[in-house]
Amino acid sequence: MVFDTKNPLYWNSADLQAEFTRVLEVCHGCRLCDGLCPPFSDVFDRIDAEDDKLTAAGRTHDNPVHELTKADYDHTVDYCYQCKLCYPKCPYTPPHEYMLDFPRLLLRADAIKTKEHGKTLQQKLRDEITGDTDRAGKIGAALPGVMNWAANNKFGRNLLESVAGIDHRKKLPTYQKETFHAWWNKRHSSVVPHTTPQPPPLAEEGELKVALFYTCMIDQNKPWIGKQYVEILEKFGIEVILPEQECCGMPELGTGNIEKVTKTVDRNIARLLPYVDAGMKIIAMSPSCSMMLRQDYAHYTTDKAAAERVMAAVMDPLEYLLRLHREKKIALEFPVSIGEKITYHLPCHLRVQNVGYNSRDLMKMIPGLTVTMIQQCSGHDGAWSSKKEFYEISLDVGKKLFKAIDKEKPASVASDCSLAHLHIEEGTGERALHPIEIIYRAMGLSEL
């Protein structure tokens, strides 16, 4: 498997096809991921169909994987929404000699397809809308009322579907009048500089400082979650710093434009590295962003060594809190009893980071709170669920989660993933909370 996007072999179509065959030969003999998601169900069905043809022709010793065509592979690529749940389930991932990484194989295939064949005008427009979240955020911050009206206007949504292929039924995020970073700059006397001419001072022994990677969704759509987390940290005397930053690059990765992803990754590494070198953790407020920063940056950067230093410092917000509590650096106390039931959705992109059940464990410490954890994909998965051709499938992917939530009613719903919130609300009608909102209330805090 070629993982390095700077290696010319990464972009070689013949090598990709050979790699697809090699990987699927292993997967065909294993099938631990059968039924996990539409791509695996689809590709195994295709292998079995070829096997039936070979058997009927008396060719029982031939390998059905070798009968698959490029069209079969392309279909699998299109149906993958990069939940990455197959990776922790697979027994053959690196450093195993088979070196299987199915999600990255499909990302490679998508990147080669984009580079060699380009995209339709509709697909390009959709990529511009869904891939550049920073630009959408600037428009949303300037014209939140217009953006929110357009997201709920029947004529506008039908036009958006016909022009850009974004399904008119898909629930879109709501833009706020004040972004998180605007609130931060107003709250502090000095605005975060555009560049970092001097590295931040090293933290003294016992001093706790973090650099907050607030993420697009928290900044533009749910800023109160970022505000509440800042207040929680400051209650324990933890200094919060906001480095200059932009989107983590994952939405761009979903468009297949690797060159653009690399530029984004390189800029963020340059901005975050001084804080890492000063001894700070990078707290990424979204599971998808923390996964991108912690697991993927070295694959798309021009400075792998710098990327690895940043990657090693990245933490999920509640992972960080629980670690400090367990290390007895802070004492988490919950004076407000919450006599409720919570159905907690563990996001896919937290599961693949193997950091434990931090949000669940923290909520279970709250007096009176009962937590039921569900490990099912919501089906939102970045911009994939907004695409007209995949919208119905995305709801089908989330069906197990939706049924589990309905079964636990009247319990409240919580998830660390703000994108999953949209799909949960769409599939169940229940408003989803972030665990930070529940912990904040249990700590008896009032919003700044």
Q: Answer yes or no: do 316 and 416 share one domain.
A: no
- Express as a percent the part of the chain with pLDDT over 70: 95
Distance CA 118, CA 111 (A): 10
**With bands split at pLDDT 50, 70 and 90, how would you rate the model's confidence at 199?**
low
CA distance 394 to 7: 34
Same domain, 132 and 253: no
For residue 298, the domain's CATH number is: 1.20.1050
Q: What is the pLDDT of residue 225?
A: 97
Q: Would you state the pLDDT for residue 193?
A: 46
Name the nearest CA neighbour of 39 among 99, 105, 123, 93. 105
Same structural domain, 201 and 138: no
> Is 172 contained in some domain?
no
What gap in Å lies between CA 93 and CA 102, rounded to an integer?
9
Question: 362 pLDDT exceeds 90?
Answer: yes
pLDDT band at 2 (very low <50, low <70, confident <90, very high): confident
Q: What average pLDDT does this structure show over 415-439?
A: 96
Q: How confident is the model at residue 1 (pLDDT cuts 50, 70, 90)?
A: confident
Shared domain for 193 and 306, answered yes or no, is yes
Q: Are residues 270 and 236 in the same domain?
A: yes
In a domain, 174, yes or no: no
At 23, list the tokens.
């990987």
Read off the pLDDT of residues 247-275 as tens digits, 9 standing for 90 and up.
999 999 999 999 999 999 999 999 999 99
pLDDT tens string 45-96: 999 999 999 999 999 899 999 999 989 998 899 899 999 999 999 999 999 9
Q: Is residue 195 part of a domain?
A: yes
The answer to the question of residue 60 being in a domain is yes
CA-based nearest residue to 166, from 389, 422, 381: 389
Kindly report the three-state secondary structure assignment for every residue of the chain. CCCCCCCHHHHCHHHHHHHHHHHHHHHHHHCCCCCCCHHHHHHHHHHHHHHHHHHHCCCCCCCHHHHCCHHHHHHHHHHCCCCCCHHHHCCCCCCCCCCCCHHHHHHHHHHHHHHHHCCCHHHHHHHHHHHCHHHHHHHHHHCHHHHHHHHCCHHHHHHHHHHHCECCCCCCCCCCCCCHHHHHHHHCCCCCCCCCCCCCCCCCCCCCEEEEECCHHHHHHCHHHHHHHHHHHHHCCCEEECCCCCCCCHHHHCCCCHHHHHHHHHHHHHHHHHHHHCCCEEEECCHHHHHHHHHHHHHHCCCHHHHHHHHHHEECHHHHHHHHHHCCCCCCCCCCCCCCEEEEECCHHHHCCCCCCHHHHHHHCCCCCEEEEECCCCCCCCCHHHECCCHHHHHHHCHHHHHHHHHHCCCEEEECCHHHHHHHHHHHCCCEECHHHHHHHHCCCCCC
Q: What is the pLDDT of residue 196?
A: 45
Give residue 140's pLDDT: 86
Over its C-alpha atoms, the chain yields an Rg (Å, rounded) of: 23
In this structure, are residues 401 and 345 in contact, taking their beta carbons and an 8 Å threshold? Answer: yes
Domain that residue 426 falls in: 333-442
Mean pLDDT value of segment 314-327: 97
Length of the chain: 448
Q: 366 with 286, same domain?
A: no
pLDDT over 80 at 339, yes or no: yes
Q: Which of 271, 303, 324 is the last residue of a domain?
A: 324
Section 406-415 average pLDDT = 95
Q: For the chain, how many structural domains are there in total?
A: 4
User: Has residue 175 been placed in a domain?
Assistant: no
The count of other CB atoms within 10 Å of the CB of residue 93 is 16
Query: Does the structure show a pLDDT above 70 at 448?
Result: no
| 448 in any annotated domain | no
- Give the model's pLDDT for residue 202: 63
Assign 191 a pLDDT band (cuts: 50, 70, 90): very low
Asked, for residue 284, whether it belongs to a domain, the answer is yes
Q: b or e along 18-35 (b: 16 or more beta carbons within 10 Å of the residue's beta carbon)?
A: ebbebbbbbbbeeeebee
One domain for residues 305 and 190: yes
* Whether residue 394 is found in the same domain as residue 370: yes
| Cα–Cα distances in angstroms (integers) from residue 42 to residues 30, 33, 46, 80, 111, in the given order | 15, 11, 6, 10, 21
- Domain edge (last residue) among 133, 164, 195: 164
Whether 371 and 420 share a structural domain:
yes
Pairing of strands 341-345, 412-415: parallel
Maximum Cα interatomic distance, the chain, rounded to a whole number of Å = 79
Quick one: 107 and 126 in the same domain? no
The answer to whether residue 2 is domain-embedded is no
Give yes or no: residues 207 and 312 share one domain. Answer: yes
Q: Do 126 and 109 belong together in one domain?
A: no
pLDDT band at residue 197 under the 50/70/90 scheme:
very low
Residue 381: pLDDT band with limits 50, 70, 90: confident
Assign residue 342 the CATH number of its domain. 3.40.50
Does the pLDDT value for residue 190 go beyond 80?
no
pLDDT band at 189 (very low <50, low <70, confident <90, very high): low
CA atoms within 13 A on the CB side of 96: 12
Confidence of residue 206 (pLDDT cuts 50, 70, 90): low
- Range of 37-41, 371-375, 444-448 with top mean pLDDT: 371-375
Provide the pLDDT confidence category of residue 229 given band limits of 50, 70 and 90.
Answer: very high
- Residue 326 near residue 384 (C-beta atoms within 8 A): no
| CA distances from residue 285 to 174, 202, 291, 407 in whole angstroms, order as listed | 18, 23, 11, 29
Computed over every residue of the chain, the mean pLDDT equals 92
